[in-house]
Amino acid sequence: MRTVFKTSYDTDIDLHEHWFRRGRYLALLVFMMSLPFWADEYFLAEATNTLIWSLAGMGLMVLVGHTGQPSLGHAAFLSIGAYTDVALMNAGVPFLVSFPIAGIFAGVVGAIVAIPAVRMSGIYLAIATLALFVIVEEIVILLEPITGGVGGLFAPAIEIFGIPFERYAYLGNFYWLVLAVVVIICWGYANLMRSPTGRSFLAVRDSEVSARALGINVTRTRALAFGLSAGVTGLAGALMGHFIGFFNYELFSIFISINLLLVVTIGGLGFIQGAFLGAVLITAVPQVIAILRDGLNATAGIDLGAIPGLDTIIFSLLLIVFIIYEPQGLYGRWLKIRTWFEIFPLARRDMFRRQKSYLKTERSK
Amino acid sequence: MSLLEVDDIAVHFGGVKAVDGVSFRVEEGEVYAIIGPNGAGKSTIFNLISRIYELTRGRIMFDGHDVTKLGAHQVAPLGIARTFQNIELFDHSTVLANLLMGRHLHRRTNFIQDALFLPKVRAEERAHRQRVEEVIAFLELEAYRGKMIAGLPYGVRKVVEIGRALAMGSKLILLDEPASGLSVEESQEVAYWIEDMRRDMGLTVLMVEHDMSLVSQVSDRVLAVANGRMLAEGTPAEVQAHPEVKAAYLGTEVAA
């Protein structure tokens, strides 16, 4: 077990409390950066997809995991981000400008919607966000000149300072672009969570009445969280549009919203790392099923392809299992396993019993 | 002018008069206690001051400001901190984070500066931590700094909540039953803390408490309420000896 001897308040303020931990994240980053040099195209595309899902997952995590507000409508913000970005690029705006504007626009829409919506909580807010999703979907279909309506539209190729980031011909470049966005957002997110803003989110999540007593403007805080969440999700939507290449409103279906909720819940509510673990799971399961299907078909003659919606069934079962046995998700489980090894052989069965509690989001008052 | 002036306040929930015509004044540097049987309206008075309930009638002035015109989150910036009877801490955060949340009033950075973690944010964090460490030292919470609230025993949570209120650096602190559920030793400690708050920190304390030994030990003046009405006001001894207070607690003697 590693004991950190704290000699300055900065040890607690820093993102990582010692160089070993910082080094592990750096090693992971270097590994991720090296991917295009050795991974094949299929794997690289999957990794890109996972990163985009992680980005969207971080967007939803701020809201659900850290501020305690559920949303069933986050596909709407993905869609707003994707269409804004493509519309601006089609109008001749370079990606470097259109991309942040897409995020900001999605964020502003989110914050505006939030002002009336955040007065609701639990199931009512979930329904309100679902309604928002339906409205956005209809607007996308109606705004045919910009969005291509039902027919859909092509995402133009990205080029920054003459360097091509086109998704098919230059997948490696596109992957690095996505990775850079994810790293920057993740860094900003982690910074928020160690500063007064992040603490006010947690305060609003855990006890509104005492948040008010501390002078926190609950409505404004929840609207800010909603706006930031929508903004980051919008960025993910823009990248998703470029990744898919050709898309229409069906890309951003209600199932995307639900899968995003799975990402944050199974990943671990209240942990940034949870968004990544959840994204890996949600993108890996369909691939594993595909591999299993081919394998079982060839060797045992079992045809998994004959079972429609197998991945949905697996996700649902996983969700139920996690909510009952591990409400803190994959990351919470990992923390416990790590602690078990760190203090081996001193771990006791009931060590984490008192910590098994649900966040307010999940209770949906 | 008194620090806190409560004038003829009332709140009615339907036909229930939870508080009906209560007036009192708390002077600066005073420890003022409100006592009364269960359901007397003591906590309701607190909730009226911190704007959780809307007044039906009356006015509350603090330090020259009309509290009744403010929203619930605008009360704290005036210099009023409070604790809750049923402990309202942030359960999924550490003790340190809870105390830092008490510093929210004093934040000088916005969310963009926070996300970029500019040097200014770090400097602010250090200053907040410094203040919080003073509170930790005062309440002897050193051993619990990094612990999650959800895993802490009741007595410690009670203290953390007092700590969070102290971290706010207010003029007036409202303590809602600070000693309820505590052992004799623990409530004795609370008594010492309240004395120190007044003497060393220059705080004014308004508290609701059932424990009469604590009340008579620390408070300058006591207000007794029952059924939402004022029964008596005065020194602890005067109030305890008041016939109506005795009647409210013990019932009236039936004439034989």
Number of CB pairs, chain A paired with chain B, less than 8 A apart: 124
Among B46, B48, B101, most A C-beta atoms within 10 A, so best to mutate, is B101
β-strands B172-176, B80-82 pairing: parallel
Residue A317 lies in a domain: yes
Rounded to whole angstroms, how far apart are CA atoms A224 and B73? 16
Q: What is the ipTM of this complex?
A: 0.91
* CATH number of the domain that residue A236 is part of: 1.10.3470
Among A193, A206, A354, most B C-beta atoms within 10 A, so best to mutate, is A206
What pLDDT digit, counting tens, does each position of A307-329 carry? 777 777 888 888 888 888 887 88
Cβ–Cβ < 8 Å for A263, A71: no
A54: closest CA among A145, A175, A148, A141? A175
CA distances from B6 to A349, B129, B229 (A): 53, 35, 13
Q: Which of 29-68 (B) contact A at CB < 8 A? A: 50-52
Q: Is B109 on the interface with A (CB under 8 A)?
A: yes
Residue A363: pLDDT band with limits 50, 70, 90? very low
Residue A176 lies in a domain: yes
β-pair partners for B222: B33, B234
What is the model's pLDDT at position B86?
A: 86
Among A212, A218, A353, A354, most B C-beta atoms within 10 A, so best to mutate, is A212
Rounded to whole angstroms, how far apart are CA atoms A73 and B132? 39
Residue identified by tokens 């049987």 is B37
What pLDDT digit, counting tens, does each position of A5-37 carry? 888 888 888 888 788 888 999 999 999 999 999
Other beta carbons within 10 angstroms of residue B159's beta carbon come to: 22
**Residue B76 predicted with pLDDT over 70:** yes
At the topology level of CATH, where does B4-250 sit? Rossmann fold (3.40.50)
**Residue B167 predicted with pLDDT over 70:** yes
The residue segments making up the domain with residue A124 are 36-363
What average pLDDT is seen over chain A?
87
Cβ–Cβ < 8 Å for A42, A99: no
Please list every residue in chain A whose beta carbon sits closer than 8 Å to the beta carbon of residue B105: 214-215
Cβ–Cβ < 8 Å for A54, A179: no
Hey, are the CB atoms on A202 and B92 less than 8 Å from each other?
yes
Please list every residue in chain B whose beta carbon sits closer than 8 Å to the beta carbon of residue A13: 122, 125-126, 129
The arithmetic mean of pLDDT across residues B33-42, rounded, is 88
CB-nearest to B129 from A9, A210, A215 is A9
Closest Cα of chain A to B251: distance in Å? 35
Round the CA-based radius of gyration of chain B to a whole number and report it: 19
**Residue A352 predicted with pLDDT over 80:** no
Cβ–Cβ < 8 Å for A231, A192: no
What is the model's pLDDT at position A365?
A: 38
β-pair partners for A164: A159
A188: closest CA among B113, B129, B92, B107? B113
Residue A337 lies in a domain: yes
Rounded to whole angstroms, how far apart are CA atoms B26 and B171? 12
Rounded to whole angstroms, how far apart are CA atoms B192 and B218? 8
**Residue B14 predicted with pLDDT over 80:** yes
What is the model's pLDDT at position A311?
A: 76
Rounded to whole angstroms, how far apart are CA atoms A350 and B39? 39
**Residue A354 predicted with pLDDT over 60:** no
Rounded to whole angstroms, how far apart are CA atoms B173 and A222? 27
For residue B166, give the chain A residue with the closest CA: A214
Q: Dihedrals φ, ψ of A232, to 5°?
A: -65, -40
Hey, are the CB atoms on A192 and B115 less than 8 Å from each other?
yes
β-strands B172-176, B204-208 pairing: parallel
Hey, are the CB atoms on A209 and B84 less than 8 Å from each other?
yes
What pLDDT digit, counting tens, does each position of B170-212 carry? 999 999 999 888 888 889 999 999 999 999 999 999 999 988 8
CA distances from A43 to A242, A295, A338, B218 (A): 18, 18, 29, 70
- What residues in chain A have their Cβ under 8 A from chain B's Cβ atoms? 9-10, 12-13, 188-189, 191-192, 194-200, 202-203, 205-207, 209-218, 224, 228, 270, 354-355, 357, 359
Rounded to whole angstroms, how far apart are CA atoms A328 and A307? 31
A85: closest CA among A236, A252, A254, A255? A236
Please list every residue in chain A whose beta carbon sits closer than 8 Å to the beta carbon of residue B50: 212-213
Cβ–Cβ < 8 Å for A225, A67: yes
Residue A43 lies in a domain: yes
Residue A250 lies in a domain: yes
Which structure tokens are listed for B152? 């802490």
Q: What is the 3-state secondary structure (H, E, C) of chain B?
A: CCCEEEEEEEEEECCEEEEEEEEEEECCCCEEEEECCCCCCHHHHHHHHCCCCCCCEEEEEECCEEHHHCCHHHCHHHHEEECCCCCCCCCCCEHHHHHHHCCHHHCCCCHHHHHHCCHHHHHHHHHHHHHHHHHHHHHCCHHHCCCEHHHCCHHHHHHHHHHHHHHCCCCEEEEECCCCCCCHHHHHHHHHHHHHHHHHHCCEEEEECCCHHHHHHHCCEEEEEECCEEEEEECHHHHHHCHHHHHHHHCCCCCC
Q: Exposed (0-12), middle (13-18) or buried (19+): which is A263, by Cβ within 10 Å? A: buried
Domain parsing of chain B, residue ranges: 4-250
Question: How many angstroms from the chain centroid is the CA of residue A193?
Answer: 16
CB-nearest to A357 from B81, B101, B150 is B150
CB-nearest to B90 from A202, A212, A354 is A202
Closest Cα of chain B to A94: distance in Å? 24
Which structure tokens are listed for B119? 């040097």
Which structure tokens are listed for A234? 């919008």
Q: Is B117 on the interface with A (CB under 8 A)?
A: yes
What are the residues whose beta carbons fall under 8 Å from the beta carbon of A89, sequence distance 6 or more? Answer: A95, A98, A155, A156
Residue A28 lies in a domain: no
β-pair partners for B224: B35, B232
The arithmetic mean of pLDDT across residues B116-127, rounded, is 93
Hey, are the CB atoms on B168 and A215 less than 8 Å from each other?
yes
The arithmetic mean of pLDDT across residues B111-137, rounded, is 93
Hey, are the CB atoms on B105 and A210 less than 8 Å from each other?
no
Other beta carbons within 10 angstroms of residue B1's beta carbon come to: 9
**Residue A120 predicted with pLDDT over 50:** yes
**Residue B256 predicted with pLDDT over 60:** no
Minimum mean pLDDT range among A130-134, A166-170, A187-191: A166-170
What pLDDT digit, counting tens, does each position of A234-262 carry? 999 999 999 998 988 888 988 899 999 99
Closest Cα of chain B to A100: distance in Å? 15
**Residue A360 predicted with pLDDT over 70:** no
Domain count for chain A: 1
**Residue A358 predicted with pLDDT over 70:** no
> Residues of chain B with pLDDT > 70: what percent?
98
Residue identified by tokens 């509290």 is B67
Please list every residue in chain A whose beta carbon sits closer than 8 Å to the beta carbon of residue B86: none
**Residue B49 predicted with pLDDT over 70:** yes
Which structure tokens are listed for A268? 């671990």
Hey, are the CB atoms on A9 and B75 less than 8 Å from each other?
no
Q: Which of 118-157 (B) contact A at CB < 8 A? A: 121-122, 124-126, 129-130, 133, 148, 150-151
Closest Cα of chain B to A198: distance in Å? 9
Please list every residue in chain B whose beta carbon sits closer than 8 Å to the beta carbon of residue A183: none
What pLDDT digit, counting tens, does each position of A170-180 carry? 889 999 999 99
